[in-house]
Amino acid sequence: MTAAYRLRGVGWFGGCVVVVLGFYLVSLQVAAERKKLETVNGQIRIAERDIRALETEFDTRGNLAQLERWNGDTLALSAPVAGQFVTSESALAAIDVSQPIGGAADTRMASLLVPSMPVALAQTTAQPQVMAVAVKTAANAALKPTVIRASVAPSRAAEAAIVRALPQRVADKLNEKMAAVAKVRPQAVAMLDDKLLSDNTLGDILSGARAEARRRR
């Protein structure tokens, strides 16, 4: 009887220990989780700071003065002129985009970049076959009534893309002019937006996505 009585004491004690330990374990678990959360938050902060630093570096290396220098050296792109904007849907539909490249009225795509000077292109206004479209992002509401939106692969820096058709004569003249300054590859440049990713890259991305989807299942 006495033994049992004593054991009951031990039992109580043990029970208390288990309960207290249980509580303590819960609080320990919570503390550990909290600590982990803090670590993750810290990592996020560091990552954000790194992103910011990289962004800033990108902006600094590609600042507008530098972009203009590059444009002057190699790209030789100029601002769109009045003839390159279409005012109605029918005018947009009248543009023949299936012309072979290098043909008489071939339509090319290019990003809108600021030129060093609106050179030879000023003459294109007089040419009737010059047709182009300016596609602006929705940001500019003022453009809504006159510009038809089309989804052209948008690039981050250039908000507008122009479909430009150069008459061969003007294009040749332009080429001659630029060749004296630097090696120009208008074709390569103009095709930049045509396809941003090569077939290989696209294939890689697709197969990667498929593999990931399979793993999830």
Partner 1 sequence: MTVLVARPVSERRTAGQRHALVATAHTRLMMLMFLFGAVVLLVIGRLGMLAVQTSMADPQARVAAIAGRGDIVDRNGAPLARTIDAWTIAVHPKKLIGDPTDIASKLAALMPEGGDQAHYYAVLTSNRNFAYLQRRASPALVEQVNAIGEPGIVFDRETQRLYPQSTMASHALGFLSTDGHGMSGMERVLDDRLTNPALNGTPVALSLDTRVQAAMDSELSRALNTFSARAAAGIVLDVHTGEVIAMTSLPVFNPNRVGMAGTEELRNSVTQSVYELGSTFKPIAMATAIDTGVVTNMARRFDATHPLQVGRYTIHDERGDPKRWLNIPETLIYSSNVATSRVADEVGAARMQTMFRKLGFDTRPDIELREKARPLWPKYWARTTVMTTAFGHGIAVTPLHLASAYAALVNGGTWRPATLLKVEPGHAAKGRRVISEATSARMRQMLRLIVLRGTGRKGEAPGYRVGGKTGTAEAAVAGGYDRSRNVATFAAAFPMDAPRYVVLAMLDSPQGTKETGGWKTAAWNAAPVVGRTISRVGSMLGVIPDNNRDIDVSDLTPLLWQEPGAKQPTGQ
Contacts to partner 1 by CB under 8 A: 38, 42, 45-46, 48-49, 52-53, 55-56, 59-60, 63-65, 68, 79-83, 85, 87, 112, 114-118, 122, 125, 134, 139-140, 142-143, 146-147, 159-160
82 or 213: CB nearest partner 1: 82
Nearer to partner 1, 47 or 209 (CB): 47
Contact by Cβ (8 Å): 205, 146:
no
Q: C-alpha angle 117/119/120, rounded to 5°?
A: 170
| Least distance in angstroms from the C-beta of 102 to partner 1 | 27
CB of 151 to partner 1, least distance (A): 19
Spatial distance between the Cα atoms of 182 and 173, rounded to a whole number of angstroms: 14
Q: CB 195 → partner 1: shortest distance, Å?
A: 25
Compute CA 67 distance to the chain's CA centroid, rounded to the nearest angstrom: 17
CB of 44 to partner 1, least distance (A): 9
Closest distance of CB 50 from partner 1, Å = 10
105 vs 143, which CB is nearer to partner 1? Answer: 143
Instruction: With H, G, I as helix, E, B as strand and everything else as coil, classify residue 63.
Output: coil
Query: Which stretches does DSSP call E strand in the chain?
Result: 107-111, 133-135, 161-165
Q: Is 146 helix (H, G, I), strand (E, B) or coil?
A: coil
Measured from the CB atom, the residue of 156 and 214 that comes closer to partner 1 is: 156
Q: How far apart are CA 86 and CA 70, in angstroms?
A: 29
Q: What SS3 class is residue 5?
A: helix
> 146 or 187: whose CB is closer to partner 1?
146
Nearer to partner 1, 103 or 118 (CB): 118
CB of 185 to partner 1, least distance (A): 23
Q: Which phi and psi angles does 120 have, rounded to 5°?
A: -45, -25
Contact at 8 Å (CB) between 109 and 169? no
- Backbone φ and ψ for 111, nearest 5 degrees, come out as -80, 145
